[in-house]
């Protein structure tokens, strides 16, 4: 029963993200809280990735860290500061934090 509930919540969260991407006009949420940042969408993606990764990693701390880095990358992409070097550095940090402490 827990699996079904978790799967339903996961499907609901990612369904809301998909609905936001496909059916909501980006101009209507672009300036809602902070101008040009799409903050409601980023908040929804943050919650969806946090829940998904906490189920995957079984650790809320690791999931929170990776979710914050994903939102950081999305935010830098929205603001126009993203480059591939930054993406590779963040990916390297994620790999080191998640898999570097194996003994």
Exposure string of 67-93, with b = 16+ CB inside 10 Å and e = fewer, is bebbbeebeeebeeebeeeeeeebeee
Confidence tier at 83 by pLDDT (50, 70, 90): confident
Would you state the pLDDT for residue 44?
93
Q: Which of 60, 86, 59 is nearest to 74 (CA)?
A: 86
Would you state the pLDDT for residue 103?
57
Would you state the pLDDT for residue 102?
62
Whole-number Å distance between alpha carbons of 16 and 97? 29
Whole-number Å distance between alpha carbons of 46 and 24? 18
- Token readout for 58 is 């079984």
Residue 61, phi then psi, degrees to nearest 5: -65, -50
Does residue 46 carry a pLDDT above 90? yes
* Count of C-beta atoms within a 10 Å radius of residue 10: 14
Confidence tier at 47 by pLDDT (50, 70, 90): very high
Alpha-carbon distances, residue 47 vs 17, 86, 89 (angstroms): 10, 23, 23
């Amino acid at each position: 029963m827990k699996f079904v509930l978790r799967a339903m919540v996961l499907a609901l969260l990612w369904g809301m993200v998909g609905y936001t991407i496909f059916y909501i006009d980006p101009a209507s949420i672009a300036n809602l809280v902070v101008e040009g940042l799409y903050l409601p969408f980023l908040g929804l993606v943050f919650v969806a990735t946090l829940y998904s990764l906490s189920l995957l990693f079984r650790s809320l701390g690791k999931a929170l860290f990776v979710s914050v880095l994903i939102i950081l990358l999305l935010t830098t992409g929205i603001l126009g500061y993203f480059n591939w070097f930054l993406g590779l550095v963040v990916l390297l940090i994620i790999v080191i934090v998640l898999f570097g402490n194996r003994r």
